[in-house]
Amino acid sequence: SKDNIIYEGKDADASVNTPEAGFGLPVYDAWVHYAYEFTPEAFKIYQNGKLMKSLAGDFTASQFYTEKAKIALGATLVTTLSDKDINASYADIRVYEGALTEDEITSEYGLTYTDFLTTSYDFENGLTDSVRGYDGTFTGTASVGEVEGRGNVLILDGNVNGNNVSANRSSMRMPSKVIHGHNNITVMMDLYVDGATGNYGRIFEFSQSSSASWMVGTKWGSSTVLRHSYSNGVSSAMQGKAFFDE
């Protein structure tokens, strides 16, 4: 496929199984700033402060909150899938209440924008959230370590520990209450994805239940593209099927 980034959704209000083409490829083996916006009107991805794509549809953040909801960075929450865990490092993960403008995102890219900041992980004190105390947890071989020029970062080595048990996969879990009550959120992070990372790695995955999920992944199939997949529960990969057919 020549598509650089693929958006797909099973929601009648989203763009159903329609690839969008013509934007910049994801960057491997270098630090990149990504911002993801979820609102009742659209989902947007920014790369290094510039809008890559906006997809119309209902991506209200709070619809994915339940007491059993899970948020994972680096690995799938679907125990029946053999998808690889991502080999990557994360720095300065921030969550904002509201949809930031492009100028605000550009400012945040320099870590100078703090209005409406609700969650922040700088990894100077492990997985401590410095705003509301919504601390993260490690699973598998995930760790925090120092990287030259970046300070402390979250390190995910892509190790699935020989099985697909969700709790054993290399990831960081964020409390689901991070998105509780928020219709609009913006998630920011600096991300370094190793070019040798395995196929179907997850940058992040939000799972409300066995029938609804959001995820952004890398190296989908034999391609190097990013993929954003969204299910509102009509049809779901969480039941053990492939997320979406090519």
153-196 tens-digit pLDDT = 999 988 765 556 666 788 999 988 888 888 889 999 999 999 88
Token pair for residue 229? 């997949």
**pLDDT one-digit tens code per residue, 120-136:** 999 999 999 999 999 99
* CB 176 within 8 Å of CB 65: yes
pLDDT tens-digit readout, 51-85? 877 777 788 877 777 777 788 899 887 766 667 88
Taking the C-alpha atoms of residue 153 and residue 19, their distance in angstroms, rounded to an integer, is: 33
> Above 70 in pLDDT, residue 236?
no
Distances (CA, A) of 31 to 55, 61, 62, 191, 193: 25, 27, 30, 5, 8
Name which of 3-17, 43-57, 128-142, 213-227 the model is least confident about: 3-17
Contact 225, 1 (CB under 8 A): yes
